[in-house]
């Protein structure tokens, strides 16, 4: 395929990509309005719920219940989704906002933002851990307890809210004796214990303050943080962690009917949810994008594709498509790095590993550099996302999955080894183009050829030919070398 055809194909693919992105953008704008199933938008009254003395409006919104669904990790996209939903429910005067929750955990900072907004909400917020089999672990525990009403579906669980603290720094060997090494280890462990205690105590205070504010079991909240205890839905009701159980959304609305909810020390409201109109609010395109980018596996793939696309554009300028796709993927990877807790050491290991892949192509080290690059790529991928990085303390499973990490590292290693092999093999082949490629070719003497010159016919072309020895007309000749437009030949034996 010629470079012109490659460029045309790249331009067509680029145009198709822009059409696709434009369609997604229009779809996001279409779902960002205020209708049913629309996206959640803060609007010009985004801070209405924070105004002192503000009360829910009556009118068109009375008797309506808004429902949002939060799945996955509690990070930037989920935080904005919940906060904007509360603000919109306040602005439109809904009877209640139901948050269907199923999360393994998330960032502590984002969780604190959600909890603060829920505690100051001027509309009843009902947290419903559903469907059956769902969980409100870690960050989900705080969010569930912060609801004006906390409800769980049978077969769900809650708890395990201990902040994740990991230490990826191994003890470094010193040059002293064994006693000094033991002392250094003891000091390091003491410092780690102090840091763990500080974070744990702060999180305990956070959990117990939520429980006391909502009249829930503060003693259990402390155990959920200190001892990472987790309980079932039935146990949560018995221990006064949540209010009651509900089979589904309809059952929840029926049981909420007539329930009094305290919004603050001076304001209470009675819920009228039985038979109420239900509006499901979907996240906006921005919120979906932020939630999607909060995925370590996606970050890993975007980062590698971005680097690969830019490298291809640098090696073959003018192809356009690889450079545009690579740049777009790299920008998305950078956005993802702003959402997820990134370990700089892991990022450097990934870059060095890719550098070894490139060196394998340039040097041709018989696969040794590629093996080293694959090892560094795997190690860097393991350390890339640090779930214990402050202020995240998220679910420890929020890392690049080995089922994604190892295959991509192996495929990249094999790819660069194969590229290096073909480059080395092509360098060792006989040159087939230009004047050097004609050396050894066989033709026919069309005139007598000698030191004074003659004419030869080679590959359908007439050549001025010179020979050190006389060659009669009609003989087979072989080209020895080519100087400009003159071929030096000899008699073909």
The residues spanned by each domain of the chain are: 27-168+187-284, 295-339, 341-429, 436-491
**136 in helix, strand or coil?**
strand
How many Å apart are CA 101 and CA 68, to the nearest integer? 9
CATH superfamily of 27-168+187-284: 2-enoyl-CoA Hydratase; Chain A, domain 1 (3.90.226.10)
Is the model's pLDDT at 44 over the cut of 50? no
Q: What is the pLDDT of residue 429?
A: 61
- Pick from 88-102, 216-230, 273-287: least confident: 273-287
Q: What is the pLDDT of residue 32?
A: 38
In which band, very low, low, confident or very high, does the pLDDT at 45 lie, cut at 50, 70 and 90?
very low
Per-residue pLDDT tens for 143-199? Answer: 999 999 999 999 999 998 887 654 444 444 444 444 456 666 666 567 667 777 887
pTM listed for this prediction: 0.65
How many Å apart are CA 184 and CA 220, to the nearest integer? 37
Q: What is the pLDDT of residue 353?
A: 86
In which band, very low, low, confident or very high, does the pLDDT at 48 lie, cut at 50, 70 and 90?
very low
Is the model's pLDDT at 451 over the cut of 70? yes
In which band, very low, low, confident or very high, does the pLDDT at 37 lie, cut at 50, 70 and 90?
very low
Is the model's pLDDT at 95 over the cut of 80? yes
Stretch 330-342: mean pLDDT: 84
Q: What is the pLDDT of residue 40?
A: 56
Q: 436-491: what CATH class? A: mainly beta
Q: What is the DSSP letter of 430?
A: P
**63 in helix, strand or coil?**
coil
Stretch 37-64: mean pLDDT: 44
- Pick from 32-46, 73-87, 115-129: least confident: 32-46
Is the model's pLDDT at 319 over the cut of 90? no
Per-residue pLDDT tens for 376-413? Answer: 888 988 888 876 655 555 556 677 888 888 888 888 77
Stretch 70-76: mean pLDDT: 86
Tell me which long-range contacts 207-212 makes (C-beta under 8 A, separation of at least 24).
Answer: 207/141, 207/142, 207/145, 207/161, 210/115, 210/119, 210/142, 210/145, 210/146, 211/145
Q: What is the pLDDT of residue 373?
A: 83
Average pLDDT taken over every residue of the chain:
79
Q: By C-alpha distance, which of 202, 405, 403 is closest to 300? A: 405
How many Å apart are CA 420 and CA 407, to the nearest integer? 20
Answer with the residue of higher pLDDT: 13 or 485.
485
């Amino acid at each position: 395929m010629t470079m012109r055809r490659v460029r045309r194909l790249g331009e067509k693919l680029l145009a198709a990509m822009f059409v696709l992105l434009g369609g997604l953008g229009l779809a996001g704008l279409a779902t960002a309005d205020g209708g049913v199933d629309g996206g959640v938008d803060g609007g010009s009254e985004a801070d209405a719920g924070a105004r002192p003395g503000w009360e829910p409006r009556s009118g068109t919104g009375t008797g309506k219940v808004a429902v949002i669904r939060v799945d996955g990790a509690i990070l930037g996209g989920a935080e904005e989704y919940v906060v904007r939903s509360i603000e919109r429910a306040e602005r439109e005067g809904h009877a209640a906002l139901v948050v269907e929750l199923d999360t393994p955990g998330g960032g502590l900072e984002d969780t604190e933002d959600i909890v603060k907004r829920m505690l100051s909400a001027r509309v009843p917020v009902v947290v419903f851990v559903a469907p059956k089999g769902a969980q409100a672990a870690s960050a989900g525990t705080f969010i569930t307890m912060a609801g004006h009403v906390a409800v769980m579906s049978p077969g769900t669980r809650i708890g395990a809210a201990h902040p994740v603290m990991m230490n990826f720094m191994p003890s470094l060997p010193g040059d002293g004796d064994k006693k000094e090494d033991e002392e250094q280890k003891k000091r390091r462990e003491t410092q780690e214990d102090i840091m763990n205690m500080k974070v744990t105590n702060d999180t305990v205070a956070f959990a117990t303050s939520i429980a006391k504010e909502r009249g829930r079991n503060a003693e259990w909240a402390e155990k959920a943080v200190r001892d990472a205890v987790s309980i079932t839905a039935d146990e949560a009701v018995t221990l006064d962690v949540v209010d009651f159980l509900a089979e589904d959304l309809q059952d929840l609305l029926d049981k909420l009917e007539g329930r009094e909810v305290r919004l603050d020390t001076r304001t209470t409201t009675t819920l009228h949810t039985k038979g109420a109109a239900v509006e499901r609010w979907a996240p906006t395109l921005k919120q979906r994008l932020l939630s999607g980018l909060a995925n370590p596996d996606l970050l890993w793939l975007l980062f590698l594709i971005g680097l690969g696309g830019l490298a291809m554009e640098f090696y073959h300028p003018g192809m356009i498509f690889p450079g545009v796709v690579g740049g777009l993927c790299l920008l998305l990877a950078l956005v993802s790095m702003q959402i997820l807790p990134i370990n700089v050491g892991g990022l450097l290991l990934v870059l060095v590993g890719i550098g070894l892949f490139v060196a394998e192509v340039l040097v041709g080290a018989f696969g040794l550099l590629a093996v080293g690059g694959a090892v560094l790529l795997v190690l860097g991928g393991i350390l890339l996302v640090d779930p214990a990085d402050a202020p995240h303390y998220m679910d420890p499973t929020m890392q690049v999955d080995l089922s994604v990490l190892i295959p991509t590292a192996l495929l990249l290693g094999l790819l660069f080894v194969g590229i290096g092999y073909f480059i080395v093999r092509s360098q060792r082949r006989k040159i087939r183009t230009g004047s050097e490629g004609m050396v050894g070719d066989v033709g026919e003497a069309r005139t007598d050829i000698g030191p004074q010159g003659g004419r030869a016919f080679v590959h359908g072309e007439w050549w001025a030919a010179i020979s050190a020895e006389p060659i009669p007309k009609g003989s087979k000749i072989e080209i020895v070398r080519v100087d400009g437009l003159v071929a030096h030949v000899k008699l073909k034996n």
